[in-house]
């Protein structure tokens, strides 16, 4: 691999790592909010929606769809970055 090819690949890997870090940070905030809310507002744990504890309803109704959406965003961002990389290499 040429020195410029090495730079291109490192840039691609850094970009992919940045996307992954963004998704991870977002998920830590979203998923981490549940225990924080439970610790700050213990009454929240006793709330039930249709007989289901609010914490479980949040996980089933919000967290998993958010995880799916974050994964879909990451895949699209990664594919876009890879396509830009391929276009750059083919032009050069």
Alpha carbon of residue 7 to chain centroid? 26
Residue of 39, 36, 55, 37 whose CA lies nearest to 47: 55
Could you give the angle at the alpha carbon of 39 between the alpha carbons of 71 and 57, nearest 5°? Answer: 45
- Position 79 scores a pLDDT of 94
What is residue 73's predicted lDDT score, i.e. its pLDDT?
94
pLDDT of residue 25: 95
pLDDT digit string (tens) for the chain, length 92 residues? 788 778 888 988 999 999 999 999 998 888 888 788 878 888 877 889 888 888 788 777 877 888 899 999 999 999 999 999 888 888 86
CA distances from 34 to 2, 27, 55, 64 (A): 49, 11, 7, 13
Take residue 45 and report the two structure tokens written for it: 């744990």
């Amino acid at each position: 691999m040429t020195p410029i090819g090495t730079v291109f690949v490192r840039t691609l890997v850094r970009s992919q790592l940045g996307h992954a870090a963004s998704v991870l940070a977002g998920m830590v905030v979203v998923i981490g909010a549940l225990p924080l809310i439970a610790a700050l507002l213990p009454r929240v744990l006793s709330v039930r929606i249709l007989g289901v504890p609010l914490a479980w309803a949040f996980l089933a109704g919000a967290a998993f769809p958010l995880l799916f959406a974050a994964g879909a965003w990451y895949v699209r961002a990664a594919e876009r970055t890879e396509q830009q990389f391929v276009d750059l290499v083919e032009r050069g």
